[in-house]
Every structure is written in C-alpha cells, then in structure tokens.
Chain A
Amino acid sequence: MLLDVRHLKVHYPVRGGFFRRVVDHVKAVDDVSFSLNRGETYGLVGESGCGKTTTGRTIIGLIRATAGEVLFEGTDLTKLSRRQFHPYRKDIQMIFQDPYSSLNPRKRVLDIIAEPLRNFEKLSPHEERKKVQSILERVGLSADSIYKYPHEFSGGQRQRIGIARALMLNPKLIIADEPVSALDVSVQAQVLNFMKDIQQDYGLTYLFISHDLGIIRHMCDRIGIMYRGRLVEEGTSEDIFANPQHIYTKRLLSAIPNADPRERGKQTALRREVEQEYAQAYSRYFDETGRAYPLKPISPTHSVAIP
C-alpha cells in the first residue's frame, strides 16, 4: 500500500454573531478513508463542492487536515513539520486543472520544468538542461522548446509541460485534479492516453480527481464516490458502473448523457425511476442530519454507505 488516508477531516469554521465567534463548521471533508495500492489509479468522483479537491490538496499538504491521518509509505504526513515534509514533496506531485493558469507566463519552459529539480538537487546548468530536454522529449515536445514561453503552446502541449514538471523528480504518487477538464475532446484523448503510457513507464500511482464519469471509467481501477464531504460508495470500476448500490451513485450515473440517440427514451425513463427512488428512499441512505452513513463492505472490493 502506497497511501492510506484514515478518517481524514477538513473543517472550516464559520464565524458570525457577537465578536465573530465560531458558530458552526463547514465540513468540507468529513471522515474520509481510502487507500491506494502501488501502480493503480484511484478515482475520486463527485459534483462541485463534494470535497474531492480538498481531499487531494490535503494529501499533498496544501491544506491542513483538521483530524485524521495521511499515511504515505507508513509515515503520517499530517504530523510532519515543514522541514520534515520536504523529502516527501519529491514523491508526491500534482497535475493541475487549468494549464493556462498553472504555468507562470513569465518563465521559460526550462525554468518551469527545472524548478522542482532546483529545490532538491544541485546540478550544473548543462546537466539540468539535458535532463529537462530528455523529459520534454518523453512528453512529446521538441527539445528546443526549453527557451519558449507558455503562451507559445496549445492547451494540450501546456498540459504536457505541467506533466513534465510533475515527472521531473520521479514521483511515486501523482494527484491529478481534473487534468483534462479545460481541454477540447481530441486533446483530452491525447493527454489521457499519455498519462496511461507514463504510468506504465514510471510505475506511477494516480489519484485521479474528476467530475466526468466517462473519463473516470476510462482511467481508473478503483473509484470512490464523494457526496457532501463523505464517501458514499467505493469499489472497482466494474462494481461502480455495473452494480451501483448507493442511491447517490445511481443518480449520478443515470444523469450522464447517453451518447446513443436511440437510447433517449430509455435514459429518460431510467432517470425518472432513479429520481423517484431518490425522493422515496432518501432516509434509508442518509441519517436525520443528512449525513451519509459510514461505508460498509458488501463484497471484498465493494463498500457502500448504508446503515
């Protein structure tokens, strides 16, 4: 096991009233546990505000956990000081959603990609350039791109620069937060295929965060469905797509547009049915406060949040 997230909580205080006292908490991530095996792709899915991005950012240390543990190869990252965390930054890298805002427009590609390297290794400019060029070639960009600036590249190329930067330190885990949402479909396909290739070549483990179930199905071995800060269902790709159990998972799956116009009637009927079940059986899946129950295993690979 590479990463083990246990009972992770991220709560934000809500202040108000007299003296701006803490009146309540927003539970962005509310007791979430899951683990990643080496070499697999774990998909975290949910709609906006479900806490998937917060979970990813907490793992990499960009957000402080309120409670819980993030065990990376057995070490709890949430308990480390800045200095102690430093070596782990090498092992966990992130690919961001928007390749237009995640690359500094005033830096050359060389400096963008070499930056993580400069934080960890002392290399001569010559060695550094060679290393950057070889990684650029690996991501399919020409070696003379190093003196160019981000605006000279298309969206897909920029995202590959972002991936090159993430790969520079030979990470073990990559957290990809909506890595292709800002890209056109044909470019999206290119980046997704490419992420699969490098996963094999570098033995990478992915935590893949997305709202797009088509992409999740294409990329992921195992999937966790998040809703209001909690996991409501977890299983293999097969478990989730062929045998969804939680009402929210069913609702999410039935909402995906069906790319076959002949299925229109069927899809509408399915949605109605699920909506009805959602309205009727809500109380079976959520407690009085609207919180999902803890996950319970229903097969060796499949768990559902039911009482």
Chain B
Amino acid sequence: MSKQPLLEIERLRVSFQIEGAYYAAVDDVSLVIEENEVVALVGESGCGKSALALSIMGLHPPEKTKVEGRLLFKGTNLLSLSVSELNRIRGKEIGMIFQDPLTALNPLMTVGRQIEESMNYHLRLPAEEKKKRTIRLLERVGIPEPEKVYHRYPHELSGGMRQRVVIAIAIACEPSLLIADEPTTALDVTIQAQIMELLKELQRQMKTSIILITHDLGVVAEMADRVAVMYAGEIVELADVDTIFHRPLHPYTRSLLQSIPSAQVKKDRLHVIQGIVPPLHKLPRRGCRFQPRISWIGAEQHELEPQLREVEPGHWVRCTCYRHFHFPDDQMTREVDYGAS
C-alpha cells in the first residue's frame, strides 16, 4: 500500500486559448496510474483525452496552453521541470505511440537510425551495441528480417510494419510508462488485432504501464485493466474494465455502450445520444455537463457541483443523476431536435 504509484495526476487542468480567453479542455482531472497496469481513457472527440496525454509528455505549445495542477511521475512533478530536465524523462521513462505511423516517422531517415535517435539521446552506447540493440528491438516488435528493415525507409513498409517501428521507438529505452494515443485507429482490423496482441505481450514482458487513449470500446474491452470515461473535459466514470462493460452506472457510459453497432449481436436500432457536445468556449462550467443530453431526466436529479464519488470500492461516478437514469422510450428518441448549432 505504501508503494508510490507510477503517475499521479492531480487536479490537472489544460486550457487552450480561444480568441484571447482560456478555456479548459481538461478540467480538474485526478487519476492515479499504478505500476504494471493498462488504463484506458475513453471518450469522443473533444472530450480531452488526447489533451491530457499530451500534457504528460509536455507537448502542448506553451504560448497557447495553460497547464495547471500536478503530474507526479515517480514523485517528481513533471510540470515543474525545465525542458532539459523533462527531456531526460520523456522518450526514456515515458514513451509515446502516436496514431498515424506515417506522420510519426521521419520519411528521410532509415528505420534503424530513427530508433537509434532516442538511444543516442538517453543512453551512451557504442555504435556496434546500438545496432545490435536496434535489431533486437525490431525482432521483438515482430518485424521479419530485422537486419534488412534496419536499412529501409518508412515508405517501403506497410502500415502495420510502420506502426511496429513506432512502437519499437517508444520502447527503445524500456520506459516504465507508455502513452498510446489511438495506436490502432489508422490500421485495418487484422493488423489492429496483431498490434493489440503485440502491445499486450510487451506489457506483460516489460511490466510497463500503458495509458491507452481510444474511442474504440472494442479495443478497450480487449486491452484495458481500468477505464476512465471522459466527457467534456471531465472523468465521469472510473472503474475496472469488467465493471465498465457489465455494470456501468453513468448515463454517458451507458449511452455510449448502447450506441455502438456490434459484430457479435444484432440490434434493431442504435441508441442515439441527443444533442451535441458544445464547443469548448460554450461549455457550461457549472452543474452536470451531461444534463443537456439527457433532458428527460429532471434537473433536480443532478448535483449542482457534481463530484466524482466512489460508489463501491474502485468504482467512481460523477453526479447523482445515474441513480435516476433510464433510457427514453422509442417515441422520444425519434423526436430528437437536430437544430443547427
């Protein structure tokens, strides 16, 4: 119990500048990542999941972003570090896997040199050793004929192979935390299955923790240990993966699960969540942010200052509206008002 968690996110707020004023895209998020666990951040575009991840890597442009709160990585607050201090951690202790392998790789550099780049920075190794290590890494991420691929350029590889190279770069210095931002979204399903398998395998071997950012609930169900569901900059529900899929409580989680078409079971109609996510600068900052989208649930059922509360050990839910939530009948879903924004 006394063991220090790997990463403690404390009251993190990430605000972007829009027309002179700052608006929080990640609003007061606290989350603890333990060692050797996979935590998924799920939500739709604009919910703040990527903004959260980028702030851990310190990748937001400082002139347009304000990052407040604390990010304690092994006890050190990443937000208080200088760029050069941060550079000693990111790429070495925290690795990142990006969504699109084609844009994440440098088209003018061979695969081998790109992988060695971070080793040059963080580990001082003789050239011979470096190459050996790189080839071992390529082997480890399942690339056939690693000696040949070492000399190839990214455009000579298929999408799945490129993503494997991106993963190899991320794990080159054996980080204790991996941030994977939509690691399989740009890939075909059969390749996606292989990459998921690879990430799981690497996680088991290296005991790395992974923050998995995705909108794909199927990927979450297959990979995550715990899940944080985000809506409009806040965590609305946090629990282990089984609870999220089998006993979800928050109306947003429940609605989301009802709205995906499944290849396993056929539904007649999909659930539609009313309305839209308001743009960042129009977001109401008081009350339950999901309230406008479940208008049939009375206002008195929501909290005025919704809190994330632990309703059972390890299961956190925001706002009290979940206790009164029910899906509307079919009549109501068809009368949705789609007025232009």
Contact = CB atoms under 8 A, between A and B. Distances in A.
A188 B191 CA distance: 23
Contact of B218 (A140, A144, A259): A259
Contacts of A187: 276
Interface in B215-259: 215-219, 221-222, 224, 241-242, 245-246, 255-257, 259
Interface in A217-247: 217-219, 237, 241
A282 to B, nearest CB: 14
Contact of B196 (A192, A212, A213, A257): A257
Contacts of A148: 340
B140 interface: no
B328 to A, nearest CB: 14
A73 interface: no
Contact of A152 (B216, B257, B341): B341
Interface stretch (A8-16, A166-174, A263-271): A263-271
A214 B263 contact: yes
Contacts of B193: 254-255, 257, 271
B188 A261 contact: no
B190 interface: yes
Q: Contact size class for B?
A: 35 or more
Given A193-B270, A261-B222, A186 B255 contact: yes
A258 B259 contact: no
A217 B261 contact: yes
Given A184-B215, A186-B273, A189-B271, A253 B221 contact: no
Contact of A192 (B45, B191, B261, B263): B261
A75 interface: no
Nearest to B196: A257
B263 A251 contact: no
Interface string B267-306: 1011111001000000000000000000000000000000
A262 B263 CA distance: 16
B44 A186 contact: yes
A48 B340 contact: no
A145 B341 CA distance: 10
A115 B222 CA distance: 46
A142 B339 contact: yes
Given A153-B340, A156-B276, A268-B197, A185 B259 contact: yes
B336 interface: yes
Interface in B175-201: 188-193, 196-197
B279 to A, nearest CB: 9
Nearest to A139: B338
B339 A259 contact: no
B222 A258 contact: yes
A160 interface: yes
A243 to B, nearest CB: 14
Q: Contact size class for A?
A: 35 or more
B125 interface: no
B103 interface: no
A140 B336 contact: yes
Contacts of B256: 185-186
Given A185-B215, A257-B221, A258-B222, A213 B189 contact: yes
Contacts of A273: none
Contacts of A215: 261
Given A141-B338, A186-B272, A257 B190 contact: no
Nearest to B222: A257
Nearest to B269: A193
B18 to A, nearest CB: 15
Contacts of B76: none
B262 interface: yes
A22 interface: no
B242 A262 contact: yes
B341 A153 contact: yes
B264 interface: yes
Given A157-B341, A192-B261, A252 B189 contact: yes
Contacts of A254: 193
A218 B270 contact: yes
Contacts of B255: 186
B89 to A, nearest CB: 32
Contacts of B336: 140, 190
Contacts of A253: 263
Contacts of B259: 185-186, 188-189
Contacts of B124: none
Contacts of A213: 189, 263
A189 B272 CA distance: 6
B276 A211 contact: no
Contact of A256 (B159, B191, B218, B257): B218
23 contacts: A47-B189, A141-B338, A157-B338, A186-B44, A186-B256, A186-B272, A214-B218, A217-B262, A217-B266, A218-B270, A251-B190, A253-B263, A254-B193, A255-B189, A255-B192, A257-B218, A257-B221, A259-B257, A259-B260, A260-B245, A261-B221, A261-B242, A264-B221
Interface of B: 44-45, 159, 188-193, 196-197, 215-219, 221-222, 224, 241-242, 245-246, 255-257, 259-264, 266-267, 269-273, 276, 336, 338-341
Given A47-B188, A153-B341, 19 more contacts: A47-B190, A48-B159, A157-B341, A184-B215, A185-B259, A186-B44, A190-B272, A214-B263, A237-B266, A255-B193, A257-B218, A257-B222, A258-B222, A258-B264, A259-B217, A259-B264, A260-B264, A262-B242, A264-B221
Q: Which 5 A-B pairs have the closest CB atoms?
A: A257-B218, A218-B261, A140-B338, A189-B270, A255-B193
Interface of A: 47-48, 140-142, 144-145, 148, 152-154, 156-157, 160, 184-190, 192-193, 196, 211-219, 237, 241, 251-262, 264, 267-268, 271
